Protein backbone atom coordinates (compact mmCIF):
# COMPACT_ATOMS: atom_id res chain seq x y z
CA UNK A 1 0.00 0.00 0.00
CA UNK A 2 1.43 3.45 -0.85
CA UNK A 3 2.42 5.81 1.92
CA UNK A 4 -0.22 8.35 2.92
CA UNK A 5 0.09 11.75 1.32
CA UNK A 6 1.57 14.31 3.73
CA UNK A 7 -0.84 17.01 2.54
CA UNK A 8 -0.61 20.28 4.44
CA UNK A 9 -2.56 20.52 7.64
CA UNK A 10 -3.08 23.95 9.16
CA UNK A 11 -2.81 22.46 12.63
CA UNK A 12 0.51 24.26 13.06
CA UNK A 13 -1.53 27.42 13.47
CA UNK A 14 -2.57 26.04 16.83
CA UNK A 15 0.67 27.51 18.06
CA UNK A 16 0.71 30.57 15.87
CA UNK A 17 -2.90 31.27 16.63
CA UNK A 18 -3.91 34.63 17.98
CA UNK A 19 -4.12 33.30 21.51
CA UNK A 20 -0.42 32.46 21.28
CA UNK A 21 0.31 36.08 20.64
CA UNK A 22 -1.15 36.94 24.00
CA UNK A 23 0.95 34.23 25.60
CA UNK A 24 4.04 35.86 24.11
CA UNK A 25 3.21 39.22 25.62
CA UNK A 26 5.73 39.82 28.43
CA UNK A 27 4.11 40.36 31.77
CA UNK A 28 4.88 43.69 33.32
CA UNK A 29 7.02 43.63 36.42
CA UNK A 30 5.42 44.87 39.64
CA UNK A 31 6.42 48.39 40.60
CA UNK A 32 7.44 48.79 44.23
CA UNK A 33 6.57 52.47 44.18
CA UNK A 34 3.03 53.53 45.01
CA UNK A 35 1.08 54.65 41.97
CA UNK A 36 0.81 58.32 41.19
CA UNK A 37 -2.65 59.68 41.92
CA UNK A 38 -4.62 59.90 38.72
CA UNK A 39 -6.21 63.12 37.66
CA UNK A 40 -9.93 63.02 38.35
CA UNK A 41 -10.80 63.95 34.78
CA UNK A 42 -8.40 61.47 33.13
CA UNK A 43 -10.44 58.34 32.33
CA UNK A 44 -8.08 56.92 29.72
CA UNK A 45 -7.12 53.28 30.10
CA UNK A 46 -3.47 52.25 29.82
CA UNK A 47 -2.51 51.38 26.23
CA UNK A 48 -2.37 47.65 25.64
CA UNK A 49 0.94 46.07 24.61
CA UNK A 50 1.45 45.90 20.81
CA UNK A 51 1.17 42.10 20.63
CA UNK A 52 -2.15 42.15 22.44
CA UNK A 53 -3.42 44.99 20.25
CA UNK A 54 -2.33 43.21 17.07
CA UNK A 55 -4.03 40.01 18.21
CA UNK A 56 -7.29 41.85 18.76
CA UNK A 57 -7.03 43.52 15.36
CA UNK A 58 -6.42 40.18 13.65
CA UNK A 59 -9.34 38.67 15.49
CA UNK A 60 -11.46 41.46 14.08
CA UNK A 61 -10.20 40.89 10.54
CA UNK A 62 -7.95 43.97 10.52
CA UNK A 63 -4.72 42.13 9.82
CA UNK A 64 -3.10 44.96 7.83
CA UNK A 65 -3.69 47.29 10.76
CA UNK A 66 -2.21 44.66 13.09
CA UNK A 67 0.90 44.49 10.92
CA UNK A 68 1.25 48.27 11.11
CA UNK A 69 1.09 48.10 14.93
CA UNK A 70 3.82 45.45 14.98
CA UNK A 71 6.02 47.33 12.51
CA UNK A 72 5.78 50.44 14.67
CA UNK A 73 6.69 48.42 17.76
CA UNK A 74 9.63 46.77 15.99
CA UNK A 75 11.01 50.18 14.99
CA UNK A 76 11.41 50.80 18.72
CA UNK A 77 12.42 47.25 19.75
CA UNK A 78 14.05 45.61 16.70
CA UNK A 79 15.53 42.77 18.75
CA UNK A 80 12.29 41.57 20.32
CA UNK A 81 11.74 37.96 19.07
CA UNK A 82 8.08 37.92 20.14
CA UNK A 83 7.35 40.93 17.97
CA UNK A 84 9.04 39.30 14.96
CA UNK A 85 7.05 36.14 15.64
CA UNK A 86 3.76 38.03 15.85
CA UNK A 87 4.65 39.89 12.67
CA UNK A 88 5.12 36.53 10.91
CA UNK A 89 1.62 35.49 11.94
CA UNK A 90 0.16 38.67 10.46
CA UNK A 91 2.11 38.21 7.24
CA UNK A 92 0.97 34.60 6.90
CA UNK A 93 -2.63 35.66 7.39
CA UNK A 94 -2.16 38.30 4.69
CA UNK A 95 -1.12 35.58 2.23
CA UNK A 96 2.59 36.40 2.32
CA UNK A 97 4.11 33.09 3.44
CA UNK A 98 7.69 33.82 2.43
CA UNK A 99 7.64 37.12 4.29
CA UNK A 100 6.23 35.21 7.27
CA UNK A 101 9.16 32.80 7.12
CA UNK A 102 11.59 35.73 7.01
CA UNK A 103 9.94 37.23 10.10
CA UNK A 104 10.10 33.94 11.99
CA UNK A 105 13.73 33.52 10.97
CA UNK A 106 14.39 36.92 12.56
CA UNK A 107 12.71 35.61 15.71
CA UNK A 108 14.88 32.49 15.95
CA UNK A 109 17.98 34.51 15.10
CA UNK A 110 17.37 36.44 18.30
CA UNK A 111 16.05 33.48 20.29
CA UNK A 112 17.31 30.18 18.85
CA UNK A 113 15.04 28.04 21.05
CA UNK A 114 11.85 29.85 19.99
CA UNK A 115 10.09 26.63 19.04
CA UNK A 116 6.78 28.02 17.68
CA UNK A 117 8.71 30.03 15.09
CA UNK A 118 10.67 26.94 14.00
CA UNK A 119 7.38 25.08 13.65
CA UNK A 120 5.84 27.86 11.56
CA UNK A 121 8.86 27.99 9.28
CA UNK A 122 8.67 24.26 8.73
CA UNK A 123 4.95 24.33 7.99
CA UNK A 124 5.37 26.97 5.27
CA UNK A 125 8.30 25.10 3.76
CA UNK A 126 6.41 21.81 3.76
CA UNK A 127 3.45 23.53 2.13
CA UNK A 128 5.83 24.68 -0.61
CA UNK A 129 7.11 21.13 -1.17
CA UNK A 130 10.44 21.77 0.60
CA UNK A 131 10.37 18.67 2.78
CA UNK A 132 14.07 18.55 3.73
CA UNK A 133 14.36 22.09 5.17
CA UNK A 134 10.92 21.65 6.72
CA UNK A 135 12.12 18.52 8.53
CA UNK A 136 15.14 20.43 9.85
CA UNK A 137 12.87 23.20 11.14
CA UNK A 138 10.60 20.73 12.92
CA UNK A 139 13.64 18.98 14.39
CA UNK A 140 14.84 22.34 15.73
CA UNK A 141 11.43 22.89 17.33
CA UNK A 142 11.61 19.46 18.99
CA UNK A 143 15.18 20.08 20.16
CA UNK A 144 13.96 23.25 21.86
CA UNK A 145 10.83 21.61 23.29
CA UNK A 146 10.86 17.80 23.18
CA UNK A 147 7.26 17.53 24.45
CA UNK A 148 5.91 19.68 21.59
CA UNK A 149 3.43 17.22 20.06
CA UNK A 150 2.62 19.37 17.01
CA UNK A 151 6.26 19.42 15.91
CA UNK A 152 6.49 15.62 16.15
CA UNK A 153 3.33 15.36 14.04
CA UNK A 154 4.60 17.85 11.47
CA UNK A 155 8.01 16.20 11.33
CA UNK A 156 6.24 12.93 10.56
CA UNK A 157 4.48 14.60 7.63
CA UNK A 158 7.80 15.89 6.30
CA UNK A 159 9.40 12.47 6.69
CA UNK A 160 6.53 10.87 4.79
CA UNK A 161 7.15 13.31 1.96
CA UNK A 162 10.76 12.13 2.01
CA UNK A 163 9.71 8.47 1.94
CA UNK A 164 10.96 7.74 5.47
CA UNK A 165 8.00 5.79 6.80
CA UNK A 166 9.73 4.18 9.79
CA UNK A 167 10.96 7.49 11.18
CA UNK A 168 7.56 9.05 10.50
CA UNK A 169 5.91 6.24 12.45
CA UNK A 170 8.23 6.86 15.41
CA UNK A 171 7.43 10.59 15.41
CA UNK A 172 3.69 9.93 15.25
CA UNK A 173 3.95 7.46 18.12
CA UNK A 174 5.77 10.16 20.11
CA UNK A 175 3.07 12.69 19.24
CA UNK A 176 0.41 10.20 20.29
CA UNK A 177 2.08 9.64 23.65
CA UNK A 178 2.22 13.39 24.21
CA UNK A 179 -1.29 14.12 22.93
CA UNK A 180 -3.36 10.92 23.08
CA UNK A 181 -6.60 12.81 22.39
CA UNK A 182 -5.32 14.36 19.16
CA UNK A 183 -7.42 12.92 16.34
CA UNK A 184 -5.15 14.25 13.56
CA UNK A 185 -2.25 12.29 15.03
CA UNK A 186 -4.36 9.15 15.39
CA UNK A 187 -5.63 9.42 11.81
CA UNK A 188 -2.18 9.81 10.26
CA UNK A 189 -0.71 7.10 12.49
CA UNK A 190 -3.49 4.80 11.29
CA UNK A 191 -2.58 5.52 7.67
CA UNK A 192 1.11 4.87 8.29
CA UNK A 193 0.49 1.62 10.14
CA UNK A 194 -1.75 0.49 7.28
CA UNK A 195 0.79 1.50 4.64
CA UNK A 196 3.58 -0.54 6.26
CA UNK A 197 1.36 -3.60 6.72
CA UNK A 198 0.73 -3.34 10.45
CA UNK A 199 -2.99 -3.87 10.06
CA UNK A 200 -3.70 -4.87 13.67
CA UNK A 201 -2.11 -1.67 14.99
CA UNK A 202 -3.86 0.33 12.28
CA UNK A 203 -7.23 -1.14 13.26
CA UNK A 204 -6.71 -0.47 16.97
CA UNK A 205 -5.62 3.11 16.30
CA UNK A 206 -8.48 3.73 13.88
CA UNK A 207 -10.94 2.49 16.47
CA UNK A 208 -9.67 5.01 19.00
CA UNK A 209 -9.81 7.77 16.37
CA UNK A 210 -13.41 6.87 15.51
CA UNK A 211 -14.33 6.96 19.19
CA UNK A 212 -12.68 10.38 19.56
CA UNK A 213 -14.29 11.82 16.41
CA UNK A 214 -17.56 9.97 15.74
CA UNK A 215 -18.81 12.74 13.45
CA UNK A 216 -15.78 12.63 11.13
CA UNK A 217 -16.79 10.62 8.03
CA UNK A 218 -13.24 10.14 6.77
CA UNK A 219 -12.09 8.60 10.03
CA UNK A 220 -15.16 6.35 10.21
CA UNK A 221 -14.61 5.26 6.60
CA UNK A 222 -10.96 4.40 7.22
CA UNK A 223 -11.96 2.36 10.26
CA UNK A 224 -14.56 0.54 8.14
CA UNK A 225 -11.99 -0.37 5.48
CA UNK A 226 -9.68 -1.81 8.12
CA UNK A 227 -12.53 -3.85 9.56
CA UNK A 228 -13.08 -5.26 6.06
CA UNK A 229 -9.41 -6.21 5.85
CA UNK A 230 -9.82 -8.18 9.09
CA UNK A 231 -13.02 -9.85 7.81
CA UNK A 232 -15.19 -8.08 10.38
CA UNK A 233 -17.86 -7.41 7.79
CA UNK A 234 -20.82 -6.71 10.05
CA UNK A 235 -18.92 -4.04 11.97
CA UNK A 236 -17.61 -2.62 8.70
CA UNK A 237 -21.16 -2.42 7.36
CA UNK A 238 -22.19 -0.40 10.43
CA UNK A 239 -19.25 1.99 10.01
CA UNK A 240 -19.86 2.53 6.29
CA UNK A 241 -23.52 3.19 7.08
CA UNK A 242 -22.52 5.74 9.73
CA UNK A 243 -20.17 7.40 7.25
CA UNK A 244 -22.91 7.73 4.64
CA UNK A 245 -25.30 9.18 7.19
CA UNK A 246 -22.82 12.00 7.67
CA UNK A 247 -21.67 12.26 4.06
CA UNK A 248 -24.25 10.73 1.68
CA UNK A 249 -22.22 11.48 -1.47
CA UNK A 250 -19.11 9.62 -0.28
CA UNK A 251 -18.35 7.35 -3.24
CA UNK A 252 -15.69 5.33 -1.45
CA UNK A 253 -17.96 4.66 1.54
CA UNK A 254 -20.84 3.63 -0.72
CA UNK A 255 -18.59 1.19 -2.56
CA UNK A 256 -17.36 -0.15 0.78
CA UNK A 257 -20.93 -0.60 1.92
CA UNK A 258 -21.71 -2.64 -1.21
CA UNK A 259 -18.66 -4.82 -0.63
CA UNK A 260 -19.66 -5.42 2.98
CA UNK A 261 -23.16 -6.42 1.91
CA UNK A 262 -21.78 -8.91 -0.62
CA UNK A 263 -19.55 -10.43 2.06
CA UNK A 264 -22.55 -10.69 4.36
CA UNK A 265 -24.48 -12.66 1.69
CA UNK A 266 -26.74 -9.68 1.10
CA UNK A 267 -25.85 -9.26 -2.57
CA UNK A 268 -29.38 -8.25 -3.53
CA UNK A 269 -29.12 -5.24 -1.22
CA UNK A 270 -25.71 -4.39 -2.65
CA UNK A 271 -27.23 -3.87 -6.10
CA UNK A 272 -28.87 -0.61 -4.99
CA UNK A 273 -25.70 1.31 -4.04
CA UNK A 274 -23.82 -0.23 -6.97
CA UNK A 275 -26.41 0.94 -9.49
CA UNK A 276 -26.26 4.40 -7.94
CA UNK A 277 -22.48 4.44 -8.18
CA UNK A 278 -22.52 3.28 -11.81
CA UNK A 279 -24.80 6.22 -12.62
CA UNK A 280 -22.71 8.73 -10.69
CA UNK A 281 -19.20 7.54 -11.63
CA UNK A 282 -19.69 5.48 -14.79
CA UNK A 283 -16.01 5.59 -15.70
CA UNK A 284 -14.87 3.79 -12.55
CA UNK A 285 -14.05 0.23 -13.55
CA UNK A 286 -14.02 -1.05 -9.97
CA UNK A 287 -17.70 -0.16 -9.58
CA UNK A 288 -18.63 -2.36 -12.55
CA UNK A 289 -16.39 -5.13 -11.24
CA UNK A 290 -18.13 -5.10 -7.85
CA UNK A 291 -21.52 -4.97 -9.56
CA UNK A 292 -20.54 -8.03 -11.57
CA UNK A 293 -19.45 -9.79 -8.38
CA UNK A 294 -22.82 -9.14 -6.74
CA UNK A 295 -24.75 -10.40 -9.76
CA UNK A 296 -22.54 -13.47 -10.01
CA UNK A 297 -23.24 -14.29 -6.39
CA UNK A 298 -26.95 -14.12 -7.24
CA UNK A 299 -26.44 -16.41 -10.24
CA UNK A 300 -27.39 -13.74 -12.78
CA UNK A 301 -24.79 -14.10 -15.51
CA UNK A 302 -26.39 -13.66 -18.93
CA UNK A 303 -27.13 -10.56 -20.95
CA UNK A 304 -25.85 -6.99 -20.72
CA UNK A 305 -27.47 -6.62 -17.28
CA UNK A 306 -25.91 -9.82 -16.01
CA UNK A 307 -22.61 -10.39 -14.22
CA UNK A 308 -20.55 -11.07 -17.37
CA UNK A 309 -21.85 -7.91 -19.03
CA UNK A 310 -20.87 -5.78 -16.02
CA UNK A 311 -17.45 -7.41 -15.80
CA UNK A 312 -16.85 -6.88 -19.51
CA UNK A 313 -17.72 -3.22 -19.01
CA UNK A 314 -15.14 -3.02 -16.22
CA UNK A 315 -12.52 -4.52 -18.54
CA UNK A 316 -13.38 -2.08 -21.31
CA UNK A 317 -12.66 0.74 -18.89
CA UNK A 318 -9.56 -0.87 -17.38
CA UNK A 319 -8.26 -3.88 -19.33
CA UNK A 320 -5.72 -4.84 -16.65
CA UNK A 321 -8.19 -4.86 -13.73
CA UNK A 322 -7.33 -8.18 -12.11
CA UNK A 323 -10.48 -8.39 -9.98
CA UNK A 324 -12.70 -8.21 -13.05
CA UNK A 325 -10.73 -10.91 -14.88
CA UNK A 326 -10.77 -13.24 -11.87
CA UNK A 327 -14.46 -12.70 -11.21
CA UNK A 328 -15.35 -13.30 -14.83
CA UNK A 329 -13.40 -16.56 -14.88
CA UNK A 330 -15.00 -17.66 -11.62
CA UNK A 331 -18.53 -16.72 -12.72
CA UNK A 332 -18.23 -18.61 -15.99
CA UNK A 333 -16.58 -21.65 -14.40
CA UNK A 334 -19.12 -21.71 -11.59
CA UNK A 335 -21.89 -21.85 -14.21
CA UNK A 336 -20.08 -24.67 -16.06
CA UNK A 337 -19.36 -22.43 -19.06
CA UNK A 338 -15.91 -23.94 -19.25
CA UNK A 339 -14.77 -22.95 -22.73
CA UNK A 340 -15.44 -19.24 -22.25
CA UNK A 341 -13.93 -19.50 -18.76
CA UNK A 342 -10.72 -20.97 -20.19
CA UNK A 343 -10.69 -18.33 -22.91
CA UNK A 344 -11.03 -15.67 -20.22
CA UNK A 345 -8.11 -17.16 -18.30
CA UNK A 346 -6.03 -17.23 -21.48
CA UNK A 347 -6.81 -13.57 -22.13
CA UNK A 348 -5.83 -12.68 -18.57
CA UNK A 349 -2.60 -14.70 -18.76
CA UNK A 350 -1.62 -12.84 -21.93
CA UNK A 351 -1.60 -9.61 -19.92
CA UNK A 352 1.19 -11.00 -17.73
CA UNK A 353 -0.49 -10.34 -14.38
CA UNK A 354 1.23 -10.56 -11.02
CA UNK A 355 1.85 -14.16 -9.91
CA UNK A 356 -0.60 -13.96 -7.00
CA UNK A 357 -3.36 -12.63 -9.29
CA UNK A 358 -2.67 -15.36 -11.85
CA UNK A 359 -2.84 -17.99 -9.09
CA UNK A 360 -6.26 -16.67 -8.04
CA UNK A 361 -7.48 -16.77 -11.65
CA UNK A 362 -6.32 -20.36 -12.06
CA UNK A 363 -8.04 -21.27 -8.80
CA UNK A 364 -11.23 -19.62 -10.05
CA UNK A 365 -11.27 -22.11 -12.94
CA UNK A 366 -11.47 -25.04 -10.50
CA UNK A 367 -15.12 -25.64 -11.34
CA UNK A 368 -14.10 -26.71 -14.84
CA UNK A 369 -11.38 -29.16 -13.88
Q: What was the pLDDT predicted at 42?
A: 52
How far apart CA 257 and CA 259 sit, in angstroms, is 5
Q: Does residue 332 contact residue 308 with C-beta atoms inside 8 Å?
A: yes
Which pLDDT score is estimated for 44? Answer: 60
Query: Model pTM?
Result: 0.82
pLDDT at residue number 277: 97
Q: Where are the beta strands (DSSP E) in 140-190?
A: none
All structural domains of the chain with their residue ranges: 1-21+52-179, 283-369
pLDDT of residue 16: 44
DSSP annotation of 36 reads P
Q: Which fold has domain 283-369?
A: 1.25.40
Q: Do domains 1-21+52-179 and 283-369 have the same CATH topology?
A: yes
Question: What integer best gives the mean pLDDT of the chain?
Answer: 89
CB atoms within 10 A of CB 359: 12
C-alpha 9/C-alpha 126 separation (Å) is 10
The C-alpha torsion from 315 through 316 and 320 to 324, rounded to 10°, is -10
- CATH homologous superfamily, domain 1-21+52-179: Tetratricopeptide repeat domain (1.25.40.10)
CA 315 to chain centre: 31
| Range 107-113 average pLDDT | 95
> Region 309-331: what's the mean pLDDT?
96
Vertex 118, ends 113 and 123: CA angle to 5°? 165
Other Cβ atoms within 10 Å of 201 Cβ, number: 17
The kind and range of the H/E element at 365 are: none
Q: What is the pLDDT of residues 276-304, one digit of tens each?
A: 999 999 999 999 999 999 999 999 998 88
Q: pLDDT value at position 45? A: 57
Over residues 144-153, the mean pLDDT reads: 96
Nearest to 288 by CA among 243, 246, 323, 250: 323
Amino acid sequence: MPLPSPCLSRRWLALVHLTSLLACTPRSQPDARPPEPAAEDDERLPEKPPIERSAELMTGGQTAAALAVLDEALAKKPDDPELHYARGIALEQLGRPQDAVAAWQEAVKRKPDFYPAHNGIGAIQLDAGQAEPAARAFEAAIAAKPDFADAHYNLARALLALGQAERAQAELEAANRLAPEDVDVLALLTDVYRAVGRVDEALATAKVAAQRAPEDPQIRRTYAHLLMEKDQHALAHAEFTATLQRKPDDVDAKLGLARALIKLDRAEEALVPLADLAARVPDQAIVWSEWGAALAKLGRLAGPEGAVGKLDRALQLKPDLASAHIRKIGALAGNKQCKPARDALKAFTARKPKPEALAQAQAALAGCK
